[in-house]
Copies of this chain bind each other. A is one copy, B any other.
Amino acid sequence: MARGTKKADLVLRGGSLVNVFSGEIYRADVAVCGGKIAGLGEYEGRTVVDVSSRYILPGFIDSHVHIESSMLAPAEFARAALPHGTTAVIADPHEIANVLGRTGIQYMLAASEGLPLDFYFMLPSCVPATSLETSGARLRAADLLPFIKHRRVLGLAEVMNYPGELHGEPDVLQKLKAFSHALIDGHAPGLSDYDLSAYAGAGISSDHECTTADEAQRKIRLGMTIFLREGSAAKDLEALLPAVTWANTRFFTLATDDFQPGDLKRGSMNQIIKKAIRLGMDPIMAVQMATINAARHFGLRQKGAILPGYDADIVVIDDLKNFGVEKVFKAGKLVAEGGACIATIRNRRHERARGTVRTGPIDKQDLMVKAKTGLARVIELIPDQIETKCSILPVTVQGGYVVSDIQRDILKLVVIERHKATGNRGFGLIKGLGLKSGAIASTVAHDSHNIITSGVADEDILAAVVRVQKIHGGLVVVNNRKVIAEIALPVAGLMSDKGLDFVVNKLAEIDAAVKGLGTRLEHPFGMLSFLALPVIPELKLTDRGLVDVKQFTFVDLFV
């Protein structure tokens, strides 16, 4: 067929090909046969699609994404991301693995099988994330290693435990050794050159945590491919652009990392490429980052370019400035058009990942804490940051028990272990949430995803927790003991079993409801989800208690 002696299955005719291999943009027909690119030039096809005055690009590859942050299961994620031109992702199922361990990884592999978007996986390297919390599982090297045989598993995901790596912690070293012949992604904010040398020398070949061009340059000098991250919260693209040159550009890729449902509705990789071009990057360079650079880094030999023998994953856009995705082909089949997914994606079953909220019965007594002294360590929110302050403040007491105080905006914060019904409960106080009444509860609480809840009256807190239990995880807003907004996230307590529109609408209702309770935070549940993450300074709360992050130890609530 390539020789032009037979008709192709499909020919895209009249467009400008962005050839990321030759680094050129030129007029060429693209011929497809059997789901693969058959030829470039002039071809006849049984189906001919006119793409005159359009640009033909390889499908986009997201180098690092936590699917769970979209609150969508893989099939619905595919439906949401395909219209934006994303045809492959390298996912790190870190969140679900912290809930379900190997079962979580198995679920993600099964739930993403046969979809018109390729899900590749890096195996979560840090489950649990710390020793100061109770996760749903502990994954050792021996638990992870069997997965490497899977066609879509490429290596070990972001090794966050860089202190562990640098100090030769056995568990970390075992994992690095076990995956020394595969890919290992990094996560190393702010290391010194010496520490970075040791980190890179251990085979960790990428990083997506750079926040300055200088940091990116130091890492690329040590051989780390840089994933330019442009997520919902962390937006590093603009700051890092000065580090990119033509001589090193091949070692940069693009990634979303954490992308919230609302953002996913508006765009994905297409928006990041567009932004890079708008910021002055050469369009070829920007498209290479989202395609061939990622494919080569991850060893995906038949992806990332429109070349004979490669997978026919193709994006047609209007122009290189507006970057409007008009058509998306996956393996030669039209899967999205005009912003809508038109692929047939059958509904998936999520049994393996359901029913993950396992606590004993909880009553009001369980949410009460006796005042040992009059002064407590209070978690104080810092606007627009996930870091917190530790403030020593007087507590408000009723009948010997600490209570929320809306005048001073100091509310009770409780983390309830939900994986093994240990009965673990951590108590804290939070300043800055701003609720004047009601309560909120959630099973999305990095990284162990226990139940986290805060509110004014204990009755409302209890009602929110009970509701979260009943719907097998999710986000719940309660006022006067009534649920006023919620979204069920029955898939591991992290993901909905519905589609993107449903999730986005529910989240809008939830944000409005929490604002109605008095908060001024833009995404109160987003803020809540980081309050149990004991690796971000300064004071955090896990199911096992208050954590002084800098000392990496538990501290008493009371001073």
A interface list, Cβ under 8 A from B: 1-4, 19, 21-24, 36-41, 166, 193-195, 197-198, 200-203, 217, 220-223, 245-248, 250-251, 282, 284-285, 288, 296, 299, 305, 307-310
Contact = CB atoms under 8 A, between A and B. Distances in A.
A2 B308 CA distance: 43
Given A194-B41, A198-B2, A203-B309, A284 B22 contact: no
A3 to B, nearest CB: 4
A40 B221 contact: yes
Given A21-B220, A308-B198, A308-B223, A246 B246 contact: yes
A167 to B, nearest CB: 10
A198 B23 contact: no
A305 B309 CA distance: 29
B21 A221 contact: yes
Nearest 9 A-B pairs (CB), nearest first? A23-B247, A223-B307, A201-B308, A39-B197, A246-B246, A2-B197, A2-B198, A23-B248, A201-B309
Contacts of A221: 19, 21-22, 24, 40
Given A21-B221, A248-B21, A194 B3 contact: yes
Contacts of A220: 21-22
Contact of A201 (B2, B41, B299): B2
A478 B282 CA distance: 65
A199 B462 CA distance: 68
A202 B310 CA distance: 10
Nearest to A183: B301
A54 to B, nearest CB: 19
Contact of A309 (B195, B223, B245, B282): B223
A4 B194 contact: yes
A222 B305 CA distance: 10
A313 to B, nearest CB: 14
A246 B251 CA distance: 14
A219 to B, nearest CB: 9
Contacts of A284: 247
A197 B2 CA distance: 6
26 contacts: A2-B201, A3-B166, A3-B195, A4-B194, A21-B220, A21-B221, A22-B220, A22-B221, A23-B246, A23-B248, A24-B221, A37-B201, A39-B193, A39-B194, A39-B197, A40-B193, A40-B197, A40-B221, A40-B222, A200-B309, A201-B308, A222-B308, A223-B305, A246-B247, A247-B282, A296-B296
Most buried by B among A201, A248, A285: A201
A251 B3 CA distance: 24
Given A22-B248, A24-B247, A40-B222, 14 more contacts: A3-B166, A3-B195, A22-B217, A23-B245, A41-B194, A41-B197, A200-B308, A222-B307, A223-B307, A223-B308, A247-B282, A247-B285, A250-B250, A299-B299
A535 B202 CA distance: 50
Given A2-B198, A3-B194, A309-B202, A251 B40 contact: no
